[in-house]
Amino acid sequence: MSDAVKAATQSEGGSKVSAFIRREIGRVTALASLVVIFVFFTIMRPVFASWANVSGGILMSTTVIGLMAIGVTFVIITGGIDLSVGTALALVSVIVGKTVMAMHLNVWGGILVGLIVGTVLGSINGILITVLKLPPFIATLATMKAAQGLALITSDLKPVLFTGGVKGWDSIAQGRFIPNFPNGVLILAVAAVIASIILNKTVLGRYTFAIGSNAEATRLSGVKVNRWLIAVYALCGTFVGLAAVVMTSRLGSAQPDLGLGYELEAIAAVIIGGTSLLGGKGTISGTIIGALIMSVLINGLRILELQQEWQYVVVGAVILLAVYGDNVRRRRAGEV
Amino acid sequence: MPTAQLLALTGVSKEFPGVKALNNVHFDLNEGEVHAIVGENGAGKSTLMKILSGIYKKDAGDITYKGKSVSIPSPLEAQKLGISIIHQELNLMPHLTVAENIFIGREDRRPGGIFLDNTKLNEAATTLLKELELNLDPTAIVGELTIAKQQMVEIAKAVSYRGSVIIMDEPTSSLTPAETDALFKIIRTLKASGKGVIYISHRLEELAKITDRITVLRDGEYVKTLDTAGTQISEVISLMVGRTVEQDQRPTNRNIGNEIVLEVQGLSDMHLLKDVSFNLRQGEILGFAGLMGAGRTELARAIIGADPKTAGKIILRGKELKIHQPSDAVDAGIGYLSEDRKRFGLMLTQNVTFNIILSSIPRFANKLGFLKMKSADGIARDSIAQLRVRTPSERQYIKNLSGGNQQKVVIAKWLTRNCDVLIFDEPTRGIDVGAKDEIYQLLTKLSNEGKSIIMISSELPEVLRLSDRIAVMCNGRLTGVIDNKDANQEVIIELATKFSDDLTTVN
């Protein structure tokens, strides 16, 4: 450390620690809420905390939304939004199923198809937003409807039953590479780590934050903002492609009508995890915590035998609470 | 001149649909020189800067850079040539660190080109900051720094391109005097290292301190280039406006009653304000002077209920007001004209009528809630005539008006609402020298007609010219209220820097 840095650090004194806490309090609060909710359900029904329920129930049901939410996190940090991830999930699933059957691909080939198709769909969003200069909300609303239709057309409105013909497809999500630990959950964990590295250690990650923080300033600094934005939407699509692969493995088929509405759950997970809808700020770990809060809630309420209708109401209330809490905190910190 | 020429523009023109923004303009810059460009808003300063920084393309003329004829098609190309610009509205990424901001677009990468090398990045930033003698932590988040420090980041960023020309657009517009001095020190360092600085400022008194030459533009035309040494500010001003404007005026023929209209007693807030008490008389202009951050805007916001108070009373014509939110203040007839008109005062994408009736909409609505546009337009036309707003019609969009005329629309809004206590926060910020004069006359006229005015201003000549009495604040406290006849710049500055008697509560 140079003298200048030392001097600056010393002059700011203890404010560095408090600044760190202030910055991280969003995630800390989210994590604390997760623990509190978990403990609450465990006390109500001890079976809730059993490994069978935690791994097979909570974690497994987090995989698809979690993977999608990771992708959406990048988009939201740039200040954008992607409403198309839900129906894109269905479209990728169907295309993977059809391609695997037509070309007799093995499991690796199928996974590759999923990742590529997802990435292409994401790039299309990116191109619409940058080249045609459409607002992200409108562009992805359009691709959301288009993907929904295309999924139904491609599949003839029927589930694509392809997984039985591909050796090992069911173990993508359901196998146990690590004993007692479903592969789907492992994929989510690895994906989260990779995403976190991309976001924090790579050029793409830096520009993701820069664009969300001040796109015009980034552009004036000589960064090719459009190119990087397309890359961000493409990356979001890659994670959606992976989510589609995992989902077909879990379900044993590609379902053309499953996915609509998932985009809002993914966005909710991102927001609960403390990522700002205004852009410039967010973390992958926060998103994972957000996704876990939602699946813990749904799982716990189901174990408490609360009607599904009421489960929706509770999830809605949690989203309100999370965002309101974030607002209050930021107003105190003088950010708003 | 012994020094080499860095940059020369000859016969540069730029036309926008219907407007000749620049017409045959000349400008040149030498190594180690600070060359100011001055002119009123609309004179063509920013168009010229945007051509130099690659944002606009010139229609005609030549640009020579280090002896070679060049074209500057994009901001990236300008940077490659070595021309950096620091915009008036700082162009930083508030969520990123100092080092990340400085080197955005040129990050150090690890072998392979995908991963960032933050250690190297921070080291490079530290070296650069040290070289410029800037006391900044490269890992600090830019959004958490003061404006002055953010500006230092911009300067470091501009220098980091290792270019030869740095353009500064209104660099001191939000700096305190001490921060301005620090900036000048940095500019002198840049000068000493042979860089050329193009300096744009509305604050003409700064020119003598820091510039070597001054080029004056008016209405897109080149007027004259002067050597700063031996040039009077008044000469620069008359070249800018095309006529003579008097400096150092004081209020004359004032006739202020004894009736106290507004009384503030013991006002405090959570963060800054401590026990502020003062009163405002009928027909008076009470100026508020102080340093940046002294609490003047906070005081205004607390009075009108925009921010919570922790203690204090606000008494209007002998009756205590319960003000919980801005609408309470407006109902009582207190209007606040924010220093940031575009953000807090106007709907830029709406027309003049809409903005003038905005605070009084119920008056222009019938029982079913439909707006009576005819009567609204009539009121707007009356206001336009009364305040001499220059606009083709009352249906013109606000964003097409000049700063001075926008300010008049805000005033019209509060007059339409029948406010007779007006709080002006920096009424002439971003307004041309010529139009300022008109705003001054308007404020004087309003007070002569019986309106009571609080005027917050950071420009001391403005405070001295308009205020009947001057209240000075420092660090959230009122440090003195003086009559205009007893006031001068020295007295005000002394009161504005009276931090002494409570060092313990500095937070």
CB-based contact, B178 to chain A, within 8 Å = no
The domain spans of chain B are 1-82+164-173+182-244, 90-162, 261-505
How far apart, in whole angstroms, are the C-alpha atoms of residue B283 and residue B261?
Answer: 9
Torsional class of B424: left (φ above 0), alpha (ψ -120 to 50), beta (otherwise): beta
Mean pLDDT for all residues in chain A = 89
Range A148-153, long-range pairs (CB < 8 A, 24+ positions) = A148/A87, A148/A90, A148/A91, A148/A260, A150/A91, A151/A87, A151/A90, A151/A91, A151/A93, A151/A94, A151/A256, A151/A257, A151/A259, A152/A256, A152/A257
Q: Return residues 182-221 of A near B (CB < 8 Å).
A: 201-206, 209-210, 212-214, 216-221
**Å between B480 CA and nearest CA of chain A:** 29
Intrachain domains B1-82+164-173+182-244 and B261-505 with the same fold: yes
Determine, yes or no, domain membership for A98. yes
Query: With contacts defined as CB-CB under 8 Å, which chain B residues touch A218?
Result: 93, 104-105
**From CA B290, how far away is CA B474, in angstroms rounded?**
6
Cβ-defined contact of A202 to B136 (cutoff 8 Å): no
List pLDDT tens digits, range B463-504: 999 999 999 998 899 999 999 999 887 788 788 877 755 443
Q: Are B36 and B207 in contact (CB under 8 A)?
A: yes
In a domain, A6, yes or no: no
Q: Phi then psi for A280, rounded to 5 degrees?
A: 90, -10
Structurally, chain A folds into a number of domains equal to: 1
The distance of B360 to chain A (nearest Cα, Å) reads 28
Among 3.30.1310.10, 3.40.50.300, 2.40.50.140, 3.90.1720.10, what is the CATH number of B1-82+164-173+182-244? 3.40.50.300
State how far residue B22 is from chain A, nearest Cα, in angstroms: 23
Question: How many CB pairs below 8 A link A and B?
Answer: 89
Q: ipTM strictly over 0.85?
A: no
Q: B48 near B12, Cβ under 8 Å?
A: yes
Selection from B263, B202, B259, B200 nearest residue B233 by Cα: B202
- The token pair that represents A99 in the structure block: 């391609």
Partners of residue B30 on adjacent β-strands: B5
- CATH number for the domain that contains residue A253: 1.10.3470
For domain B261-505, which CATH number applies: 3.20.20.140, 3.40.50.970, 3.40.50.300, 3.40.50.1000? 3.40.50.300
pLDDT the model gives residue A15:
60
**Which B residues, 150 through 169, put their C-beta within 8 Å of a C-beta on chain A?**
157
Minimum distance, in Å, between the CA of residue B76 and any CA atom of chain A: 5
3-state secondary structure (DSSP) of residue B433: helix
- How would residue B358 be classed by pLDDT, with cut points 50, 70 and 90? confident
Kindly list the distances between the CA atom of residue A209 and the CA atoms of A336, B72, B141, in Å, as whole numbers in the listed order: 19, 28, 13
The per-residue pLDDT for A3 is: 41
Identify the pLDDT of residue B447: 94
CB neighbour list of residue B409: distance below 8 Å, 6 or more residues apart:
B346, B352, B355, B356, B383, B389, B398, B401
Give the percent of chain B with pLDDT over 90: 48
Please indicate, yes or no, if residue A52 is contained in any of the structural domains. yes
Q: Find the range with the poorest average confidence among A252-261, B371-380, B390-399, B424-433.
A: B424-433
- Phi/psi of residue B311, each to 5°? -160, 160
Determine, yes or no, domain membership for A145.
Answer: yes
| Residue bearing tokens 């019209």 | B412
Residue with tokens 């196998």: A175
Contact A223 B104 (CB under 8 A): yes
Quote the mean pLDDT of chain B: 88
Task: Determine whether B198 is exposed, middle or buried from the number of CB atoms within 10 Å of its CB (0-12, 13-18, 19+).
Answer: buried
Is the dihedral angle over the CA atoms B85, B90, B93, B98 positive or is it negative? Answer: positive
Q: What residue in A sits closest to B128 (Cα-Cα)? A: A4
Average confidence (pLDDT) over B358-380: 87
Strand pairing partners for B452?
A: B421
Q: From A281, A315, A267, A201, select the one nearest A26 (Cα to Cα).
A: A281
Average of per-residue pLDDT across A139-147 = 97
Q: Which of A97-111, B55-69, B359-373 has the lowest mean pLDDT?
A: B359-373
> What one-letter code names the amino acid at B224?
K
Q: Which of B87, B143, B244, B368 is nearest to A22 (CA)?
A: B143
Q: How far is A213 from chain B (nearest CA, A)?
A: 5
Residues counted in chain A: 336
A158 inside 8 A of chain B by CB? no
Q: Pairing relation of β-strands B260-269 and B309-316?
A: antiparallel
- The answer to whether B194 faces chain A, any CB pair under 8 Å, is no
Paired strand residues for B168: B86, B199
Cβ distance A222 to B79 less than 8 Å, yes or no, reads yes
Interface test with A, best of B86, B92, B104 (most A CBs within 10 A): B104
- DSSP assignment of A12-23 equals HTTHHHHHHHHH
Alpha-carbon span B174 to B194, nearest angstrom: 27
**Minimum CA–CA partner of A211 in chain B:** B93
Query: How far apart, in Å, are the Cα atoms of B306 and each of A317, B210, B419, B422?
Result: 30, 39, 17, 15
- Residue among A87, A98, A117 at smallest CA distance from A161: A98
The rounded Cα B345 to chain-centroid distance in angstroms is 15
Instruction: Find the helix packing angle between A15-44 and A3-12, rounded to 10°.
Output: 60
Residue A19: predicted pLDDT: 64
Within a domain: A197: yes
pLDDT value for B1 = 43
What is the pLDDT confidence band of residue B244, given thresholds at 50, 70 and 90?
low
